[in-house]
Each structure stands twice: as structure tokens, then as C-alpha cells.
Amino acid sequence: MSDERFVSPIADGDDKVIDAALRPKRLEEFIGQARVREQLSLVLHSAMRRGRAPDHLLMSGPPGLGKTTLAMIIASELGVPLRISSGPAIERAGDLAAVLSTLSEGEVLFLDEIHRMARPAEEMLYVAMEDFRVDVVVGKGPGATAIPLDIAPFTLVGATTRAGLLPAPLRDRFGFVAHMDFYEPADLERIIQRSARLLDVRMDDAGGAEIARRARGTPRIANRLLRRVRDYAEVRADGVITEEVARQALTLYEVDADGLDRLDRSVLEALLTKFGGGPVGLSTLAVAVGEEPETVEVVAEPFLVRKGLIARTPRGRIATPAAWRHLGLAPPPTTEGTLFEVAEE
């Protein structure tokens, strides 16, 4: 999997540093996700009026939409410390017990990719969320003893990109579940304008709009594209991001007007020119573009499906008429009929 995709929603080292500087600190500063923001405001302010920790919160959605940012805002709004960990880092129940036993009262524990937590730790978390207690096992075999250990009341904020992989008993213990949607271009423009001010980048409205159109509905991608366009503007223009400068820069970085990059177009071109629009199996398609099947399925396909350019069917991947139009090719006469026939199966 290429780590150099400008339109990847996965954070790299540079992103993590820049994201920390650009993140809003209060809920009122958070742009987009209006429904989630309003619901979360009610949950937090109601808990503060009662003088109690809010219910455990679960946030689901694709990467790069602000789940970690919201977890930090929750702790900031409540005026309590934030402890950050992740599901893959919790390999044993003892790892979770060590974290939970050191939490202070009211503290917020953020577990990213919570669906990847080890099963023994997951079962311990059930009791901790419900009864604020963990059972620490001492010894091995028949002589092992479970010692109950009370822990301070806390608020768990879980984040997942695969909500369907969460076991029902864990999902049911969250009092509030928020699904993060992709952002509208207007919200992305506001985010880009705010980031430009914080980064001291000169940019006009049309330049910001051009970047927002190609950011795939994801703030992390929008901020990354902004930094790359800034580089281009400083070296090959007068330092001001205009619509034309943004267009030239993103063309250089192989991000087209709809946000597709080299890998996306390679998948489409292979599907259309080598397999006549499909259906074709995932493994065969991956070999045709020289990538691993997981890369095609996880990195390229979600956006292509969301844009309506390809469809997943029981017989394989097929191209829609929009895919042919996107690459400027004439679709075969049977493309539309084949699409609906296969999709119904």
C-alpha cells in the first residue's frame, strides 16, 4: 500500500503534527457534522448540570473525519484529563487493567480503533463500563483467584472505522453513538480557510473552493492538499493560492477535479480497458494494477463506490456508465443493462 497518496485519509507522521496544531479546542469551533455536534453538546451539558460523568460515547465513520478531535474536545468541554490509547495496543486484559486502574475520577479514556481490541480485554471492558470494576486474576490454573478492583468513574470515548465489527454487548454499553458523515464542500471550504489563517497561508476564496472540491469530503485530506498547494504557490507562483494555482498544483500531484488520484484511475482504467467494464474479481483486478487486493479493496474502492463509478456485485466489480464518462470513453451499448442485471443478483 502506498503511503504517499495525497488523498489517503490515513494520518502519516507529518499529518499528526500538523493536525495537532490545527485542531479546534472547543465544540463551537468545530466545523461541520452539525447534527453530531448538537447532539454531543446536549449530552455534555446535561452531564455537567447533573455533576456526573456523561455516558460512554462511540464515534464511527471513515478515517480523517474528526473522531480524535471530538474526543479531545469532549475532555476540554468537561474540564477533565484525557487518556489516549488504541485497540491494537490493548493486547491482554492486564494491559487494559493497568490503564483503567490509574484513571482519575471523571477522566476521559479515548480508545481509537476499539474494534481491534483483544477479546479478553474486551470482556473486561464490559464490566468496567457498567460497574466501574475490573477483576484482576492472580495466579494460574486451578489456584487462580479473581480479585475485584474498584476503579474511578470515567467516560469511555470509543472510535471505530468498522462499526459492524463491534460485538453487540460492547456496542450496547455506549449511551451515545454518533456516525460521522463525509463533509460537504462548503464545510470543507471553511475548514481550509481556517487552516490557511493558522498556517499563515495567503489564499483567495476560489483557491479554497478548488481544494475543497478535490478533498473527497475529508478534512484531513483537505489540510494535506492545502499544504501541498502552498508549497507549489511559494515555489512556482507569487505565494498566493488562487483557483488557477490550486488547479495547476493538484494536477501536478495527480489529483483530478473529482478527487481521484493515480491509484483510483488505474483501477478504473484496468476495469474498463482490460475487462470491458466487468464483472471482474478483486484479485484479478489487483493484479492488473500491480497492487495487493487489500489495497484496492480498502484504499481505492470505498471512494470509487461512493462516487458511483464502480459497483460491487456477487459476480465481481463492474463499472457504471459514470466511470466511462469520467475517463472520456464511450461505454459499450450493454453497459447500463448489465449493471442493473448484475446488481439485482
Give the pLDDT of the chain (345 residues) as one tens digit per residue.
Answer: 344 566 666 655 565 667 677 889 999 999 999 999 999 999 999 999 988 889 999 999 888 899 999 999 999 999 999 999 999 999 888 889 889 989 999 999 999 999 999 888 888 898 899 889 887 766 666 666 767 788 999 999 999 988 888 888 889 999 999 999 999 999 999 999 999 999 999 999 999 999 999 999 999 999 999 999 999 999 999 999 999 999 999 999 999 988 898 889 999 999 999 998 889 999 999 999 998 888 888 778 888 998 899 999 888 999 999 999 988 888 777 644 444 444 433
* 265 is known to lie in a ligand binding site: no
Write down the pLDDT at residue 345: 34
141: left (phi over 0), alpha (psi -120 to 50) or beta: left
Read off the pTM.
0.83
Q: Does residue 273 have an active-site annotation?
A: no
Catalytic residue, from 112, 187, 261, 264: name it: 112
Q: Does residue 68 have an active-site annotation?
A: yes
Catalytic residue, from 5, 15, 19, 67: name it: 67
Compute the C-alpha angle 114/191/298, nearest 5°. Answer: 40
Write down the pLDDT at residue 51: 86
Catalytic residue, from 155, 161, 242, 338: name it: 161
Residue 16's nearest CA partner among 73, 63, 78 is 63
Cα separation, 36 vs 247, in Å, equals: 33
Structure-block grid coordinates of residue 68: 480524535
Write down the pLDDT at residue 3: 45
The string of DSSP codes covering 205-240 is HHHHHHHHHTSTT-HHHHHHHHHHHHHHHHHHSSSE
* 316 is known to lie in a ligand binding site: no
Catalytic residue, from 5, 19, 68, 230: name it: 68
Amino acid making up residue 220: R
Write down the pLDDT at residue 2: 41
* 130 is known to lie in a ligand binding site: yes
* 28 is known to lie in a ligand binding site: no
* 307 is known to lie in a ligand binding site: no
Exposed e or buried b per residue across 252-275, where buried means at least 16 C-beta atoms within 10 angstroms of its C-beta: ebebeeebbbbbbbbbbebbbeeb
Q: Does residue 67 have an active-site annotation?
A: yes
Write down the pLDDT at residue 138: 66
